[in-house]
Amino acid sequence: MIFYTNILLESLYFKLLKALIFSLCMVTVQSISGYAQPSFVFQPSKGTVDLKPHFKILEDTINQFTDIEFLQKADRFELIKDFKPKGSTSVFWLITRFSSAEKAEASIHFKHLSYADLYFMADTPGAKPIHRQAGAFRPIENITDGDSRFDFSIKIDQNVPYIILIKSHHTKKYLPVFDFYLSERFTFLETKYKSELNDLWPQGASALLFLYIFLRWITTRHRPFIWLMLFVASFNLYGIALNRYLIDWFFPSMPHIGWLLPQHFLHFGLLGLYLLLLDSWDVKHKNIKLYQWGKALVCGLMLLTITVFISNYCFSNFELAGKITISFLLFLLVYSIVMLFKVWNKLSKQELYLAYGLILFFGVIIIGSLSVLIFQEMSYNIIPNLAKGISICIAFLFLMGLNGRLRQNELDNTNYLKELNTLQQHQNEILEESVKERTNELSQRNAHIETLMNEVNHRVKNNLQMLYSLNSLRLGGKEESEAGNILRDNISRIKAMMLVNENLQLSEDDQQLILKPFVNSIIDHSKRIFEAEKPVDIKVDIPEELTLDSKLALPLGLIVSELLVNSYKHAFRNVNAPKISIALNRSANSWKIVYSDNGNGLPKNVVPSFGTSLIQDLSRQINGKMQVLSDEGLTYIFTITSK
C-alpha cells in the first residue's frame, strides 16, 4: 500500500512540476515575443502569401527538442535565405510572425513534406498554442477534421499578432522544400477544387481511351492492344498516384505504402510501351539481335522495379530510387535510338505512327528527367498532369498506327481473297472441264459396259432357252421312261433359272427380286410340266411387298422347284384332294419358309434321291437349316439367317 502511495505522489509531483515549467516557458515566450515585430501583415482579400521569405529556420539533427524549447531558442533561428542544411532527413523548425488586416479563416498549405507539425498561437500574454499534424506520410487518423494531408485550417483575428512554428521532417532523402503558403480559406478551397477538377479531365479522357482500346481488343483480339492498355492504364495511375488521390482513396491509414506505387506504375507503363513496339513492329523477324536486347531490357525493367521497391520500402530513399530509374531510362533511350535507326526503313506507313509516338514519349522523358535532377521534388508539381496529357497524345498516335495497320491488313486480306476467289474460280472451271471430260468417258464406258451386260444377259437367256427347248424336244418321245423324268426335272430347274433372270431384268432395282410373282411363275410352270391325275390345290402365303436379294433368288427358286417336282412325282398317289401350301415370311434377322403337302409322306428306308440332296446342298449354300416333318403328309421348314 505504501508503495502505491509513493508512486501516486511522485506522479502528482511531476505533473505539477511540468505545469510550472510550462507556465515559466510561456512567460519567457511572451516576454521574448512581446518585443518582436510581425514579419508581415496578411491581407486575405489580396491573395496568397509565400511564407518562405518570412521564415527563420533552425535545424535539429537528432530530433530531441520540443516546440516549447524551440520557442525559448528563438534568438538562434537564422534567415532561411542564408541557411545551408546539414542533412536531408533532419528535423527543421520554421518560425515567423504576422498579423492580419482582417478577421478571416485561413489555410497554411504545402506540397511535399513527409511530416509537418503546426504550432499556431497568438503572440499575446496567456495565449495557448494550437497543435496540428499533417504530411504526406501522416495517417489520416492523426489529421484534425477540417485539415487535409497538405494544409492546416486556422482562424485569425484582425490586428492580432500571431506566431507560426512548424516542425518539418522529410524522410524521402530529398532536400526539403519549405513551400508553405498562407491564404484565405475560401480562396484556397476554390483553387484546390479547380485544380482537382482540372485533374479529372485527363483522368476521364484516359479512362475513356482505355475503354476504347479494350473494346478494340475484344473485337479484334489483336495482341498489341493489350500492351497499349497496359501503357495507358499505368501512366494514368502514375499521374493519379503522384497527385496523392490514390493514397487518399485506398491507403489513408498507410500512406507510406501508397507512395511506393508511383514509380512502379511508371515502370509498368514502360513495360507496356516496349512490349507494344516489339510485338507490333515484329522486331523478332526484322532484327533478331535487336529483339534479344529488347527482351533483356524488359527483364531489366522487372529487376528495376524490384530494386526501387527495396530502396523505397526498406531505406525510404526515394531520391536514390529516382536516380536509378533515370539511369535506366538512359539505357532505354539508347536502345530506342538504335532500334529506330535499324528498323526505320522497314516500317510501313502505319508503323511509323508508333515511331512518332516513341519519339514524343522520349522527348517528354528527357524533359521530366532533367526537371527531376534539377528541381528534384518540385518537378512533381507538373509531372502528373504532363504524364497524363502526353500519354493520351502518345496513345492516340499508337492507336492510329495500330488501327491503320489493322485497316491495311483488312485491305490486304480483301485483295488476297479476291485473288484467291479468282484462282478458285479458274480452278473450278478447270475442274468442271475435267469432270465433264471424265463424265463423258465414264458415260461412254458405262454405255459400253451396259451393252456388254445386255449382250451377256441376252446370251444367257438364249442359252437357257436353248437348253429348255432341247430338253423339251427330247421329252416328247420319253414321257414314261426314267429318262423322261430326268428331263422334266432338268426342265424345271432350267425354267427356275430363266425366271430368276427375267424377273431381275424387269425389276427397277437389279439387286432385289419381288418374291411372290417369282414363286407363282415357278408354280405355274410346274403345273404345265407335270400332269397330275387330279388337280392340285396350291396356296401361296407371301406378302406382296416382300423382296429377295438377288444372291438368294436362284437357290430359293431351285428349292421351290425341287419341292414341287417331288410332290407331283411322289406325294399324291391315292390322295383324293391333293394340296400344297407355300408360306414365306421375314423377321428382323431371318427368313422362314414352310412348304407342306398332304401326300403320303416319306416311306421307310427311303434312299435319298438327287433332288433331296440338291435341296440340302442349296439350303446350306444360303446359310439355312432344314427340318423335315412327315406327319399327315410332308412338311419342309427352312430357317435362313440373314448375314
Segment among 115-124, 350-359, 403-412 with least mean pLDDT: 403-412
Cα–Cα distance list, 553 to 92, 124, 362, 518, 638 (Å)? 119, 134, 93, 9, 15
168 Cβ partners below 8 Å, 6+ apart? Answer: 91, 92, 93, 94, 113, 115, 116, 176, 178
Averaged pLDDT for residues 621-642: 83
- The residue among 483 and 638 whose pLDDT is bigger is 638
Banded model confidence at residue 632, pLDDT cuts 50, 70, 90: confident
Average pLDDT over residues 186-213: 88
Decide the pairing of beta strands 634-641 and 590-597: antiparallel
Higher pLDDT, 533 or 90: 90
Average pLDDT over residues 445-450: 71
Q: Report residue 457's pLDDT band, with 50, 70 and 90 as the boundaries.
A: low
Alpha helix (H) residue ranges in 113-223: 185-220
Backbone angles phi, psi at 608, to 5 degrees: -55, 130
pLDDT at residue 545 tops 70: yes
Cα separation, 281 vs 274, whole angstroms = 10
Helices (H), 49-126: 67-72
pLDDT exceeds 60 at position 397: yes
Q: What is the mean pLDDT of the chain?
A: 80
pLDDT of 12 > 50? The answer is no
Contact 239, 377 (CB under 8 A): no
pLDDT value at residue 60:
83
Could you give the CA distance from residue 508 to residue 564 in angstroms, rounded to a whole number?
29
* Residue 510 pLDDT class (50, 70, 90 cuts): low
pTM of the predicted structure, to 2 decimals: 0.60
CA 583 to each of CA 419, 440, 588, 629: distance values in angstroms, whole numbers, following the listed order: 69, 48, 17, 15
pLDDT tens digits, one per residue of 220-266: 888 989 998 999 899 888 888 888 888 889 999 999 899 999 989 98
Q: Binning pLDDT at 50, 70 and 90, where does residue 151 land?
A: very high
Distance separating the N- and C-terminal Cα atoms of the chain? 115
What is the pLDDT averaged over residues 346-371? 84
Average pLDDT over residues 383-410: 79
pLDDT of residue 265: 92
Domains of the chain: 31-190 (2.60.40.2380), 200-408 (1.20.1070), 476-641 (3.30.565.10)
- Which of the residue ranges 151-155, 201-205, 484-488, 572-576 would you say has the lowest mean pLDDT? 484-488
Mean pLDDT to the nearest integer, 193-221: 87
Closest to 100 (Cα-Cα) out of 179, 182, 167: 182
Residue 27's pLDDT is what? 39
Q: How many C-alpha atoms does 425 have within 13 Å on its Cβ side? A: 6
Which whole number is the average pLDDT over 215-219?
91
pLDDT at 445: 76
Q: Answer yes or no: are the C-beta atoms of 628 and 602 closer than 8 Å.
A: yes
Instruction: Identify which of 308, 328, 327 has the alpha carbon closest to the alpha carbon of residue 318.
Output: 308
The model's confidence at residue 34, banded by pLDDT at 50, 70 and 90, is very low
pLDDT at 441: 80
293-315 confidence digits (pLDDT tens): 999 999 999 999 999 999 888 88
The yes-or-no verdict on residue 142 having pLDDT over 90 is yes
Looking at residue 349, its amino acid is K
Long-range contacts of 548-551 (CB under 8 A, 24+ apart): 548/512, 548/513, 548/514, 548/515, 548/518, 549/511, 549/512, 549/513, 550/500, 550/504, 550/510, 550/511, 550/512, 550/513
Instruction: Give the Cα separation of 209 and 251 in Å (integer).
Output: 26
Q: At what angle do helices 550-566 and 610-621 cross, to 10 degrees?
A: 160
| Whole-number pLDDT of residue 377 | 73
DSSP conformation class of 170: -
Residue 475 has pLDDT above 60, yes or no: no
Q: pLDDT value at position 31? A: 40
Q: 259-273, pLDDT tens digit by residue?
A: 999 989 989 989 998
Residue 74 has pLDDT above 70, yes or no: no
